[in-house]
Amino acid sequence: MALLETEGLTKDFGGLRAVQDLALRVDEGEIVGLIGPNGSGKTTLFNLITGLHPATAGRIRFDDGRRELVGLAPHRITALGIARTFQNQRLFNHMTVLENVLVGLHCRTRSGIASILLGTRRSLEERRRAEARAGGLLSLFGDRLLPRASRPAWTLSYANRRRLEIARALAAEPRLLLLDEPAAGMNPTETRELMRDIKRIRERGVTILVIEHDMGVVRGICDRVAALDHGTKIAEGSFEEVRRSPAVLEAYLGRQAGRA
């Protein structure tokens, strides 16, 4: 089943075409890798899917073609079941680790403002449930985040901030998780741990589309890989197929290498 499918997706920034006529399919339960040189349109694609940028043309369908995402506000798309992390970490730095995840739980909590202000039993119960769930998400990363739950997010180490971004994204109960360079800046040990964590998240029933430059990570976790260059898809298939594709070699290494 195609959880996500784009068709003819195009995005122009003024005179620059960042994404061109892109067709991409992600099936339920897959981990799909998205590779390509800097500026090839990978993050722009994430911004289009999550509604941060309006698409210039084309369609983005979710849930086996049942929902059209183009034109929806970001929070509606989150509510439908798509969450993401950012390349340049965007945590709420002045909130605690736990609160960051609680914000992510937002679209799943029901209490209205009046009941929150009045502190009704239902809203208190909901709050306790939310805190328990947030704690559960933090414990996904072993003892990396949970013991630091009440510290401000800015005090976390780099790797822990990346983990917290993932925990926060998972709070929205996504069916599709978009990870933007999750391994960037991690050391080899942390990277291995991350690969294990990402696989575990898939086992929870979350489909994953991941942008990654570390080819070891892409090889290690992705069922399929799509390569972008100048906003178009230049290759798709297994990691090995894509790696051997002349178009990909050319995009990364230049024309000569592509021919050789």
Residues in CB range of 169: below 8 A, 6 or more apart: 83, 84, 85, 104, 177
CB of 108 to other proteins, least distance (A): 8
**Nearer residue to other proteins within complex by CB, 55 or 248:** 55
CB of 130 to other proteins, least distance (A): 8
CB of 32 to other proteins, least distance (A): 21
Binding site for other proteins (CB under 8 A): 50, 52, 73-75, 78-79, 84, 90, 92-95, 99, 102-104, 106-109, 111, 113, 116-117, 123, 127, 154, 168, 172
CB of 233 to other proteins, least distance (A): 25
- Cβ-in-10-Å burial (0-12, 13-18, 19+) of 21 comes to middle
CB of 84 to other proteins, least distance (A): 7
What DSSP string describes 84-140? E--TT----TTSBHHHHHHHHTGGG----HHHHHHT-HHHHHHHHHHHHHHHHHHGG
What whole-number distance in Å separates Cα of residue 20 and Cα of residue 229?
10
Helices (H) and strands (E) in the chain, counts: 11, 10
CB 172 within 8 Å of CB 104:
yes
**Nearer residue to other proteins within complex by CB, 105 or 198:** 105
CB 145 within 8 Å of CB 48:
no
What whole-number distance in Å separates Cα of residue 249 and Cα of residue 257?
6
**Nearer residue to other proteins within complex by CB, 23 or 107:** 107
Q: What is the largest CA-CA distance in the chain?
A: 71
**Nearer residue to other proteins within complex by CB, 50 or 207:** 50
CB of 120 to other proteins, least distance (A): 12
**Nearer residue to other proteins within complex by CB, 79 or 149:** 79
Q: At what angle do helices 97-104 and 158-171 cross, to 10 degrees?
A: 30
**Nearer residue to other proteins within complex by CB, 104 or 220:** 104
CB of 103 to other proteins, least distance (A): 5
What whole-number distance in Å separates Cα of residue 144 and Cα of residue 205?
23
**Nearer residue to other proteins within complex by CB, 13 or 154:** 154
What whole-number distance in Å separates Cα of residue 193 and Cα of residue 195?
5
